[in-house]
């Protein structure tokens, strides 16, 4: 049996480029190189049939370690809690006030990019603190 070596995370959204660029800021990802024969992604997008223009966008980890994120336009909006969310590992190895300070600093950095703070989940006997947030289209993620 073969094991999976790579995977892509696909996100349904209304504005793929906007959401992808938000996640580039969150994760330090970049937009991948354009397809051969195109100087820019806008040039590539204009080459598509009108109904496909703006329908997808991607971002990648420049180190090649993290998964590719792919954003695809869908007609319906988000109506309920995510069934899957990303945990952005900010406070790994930190506890108490040090961890909270790191989470709060990252939250403050992301707010100008369109993130929204939802709630702080404080540490208990089983889990360290984490901060629940939303991206530019309301998809939840955690600063962990």
Residue 64 tokens, joined: 């090649």
Q: Is the pLDDT of residue 3 over 80?
A: no
pLDDT > 70: percent of the chain: 98
Distance, in Å, from the CA atom of 126 to the CA atom of 122, rounded to the nearest integer, reads 11
Confidence of residue 7 (pLDDT cuts 50, 70, 90): confident
pLDDT tens digits along 87-129: 999 988 999 999 999 999 999 999 999 999 999 999 888 889 9
What is the signed CA dihedral for 30, 136, 16, 59, rounded to 10 degrees? 20
Secondary-structure percent of the chain, ordered helix, strand, coil, rounded to 5: 25, 25, 50
Under 8 Å CB-to-CB from 68, ≥6 apart: which residues? 6, 8, 9, 32, 58, 59, 60, 61
Please report the pLDDT score of residue 22 as a whole number: 97
Place of tokens 């950095």: 109
Residue spans per domain, the chain:
8-73, 86-143
Residue 60 tokens, joined: 């990648």
pLDDT mean over 46-72: 95
């Amino acid at each position: 049996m073969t094991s999976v070596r790579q995977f892509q995370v696909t996100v349904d959204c209304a504005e793929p480029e906007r959401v992808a660029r938000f996640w580039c800021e969150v994760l330090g990802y970049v937009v991948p190189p354009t397809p051969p024969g195109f100087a820019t992604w806008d040039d590539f997008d204009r080459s598509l049939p009108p109904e496909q223009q703006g329908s997808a966008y991607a971002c990648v980890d420049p180190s090649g370690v993290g998964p590719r994120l792919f954003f695809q336009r869908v007609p319906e909006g988000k109506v309920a809690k995510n069934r899957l969310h990303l945990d952005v590992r900010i406070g790994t190895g930190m506890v108490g006030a040090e961890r909270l300070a790191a989470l709060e600093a990252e939250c403050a950095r992301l707010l100008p990019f369109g993130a929204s703070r939802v709630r702080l989940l404080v540490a208990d006997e089983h889990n360290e603190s984490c901060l629940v947030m939303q991206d530019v289209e309301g998809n939840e993620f955690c600063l962990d």
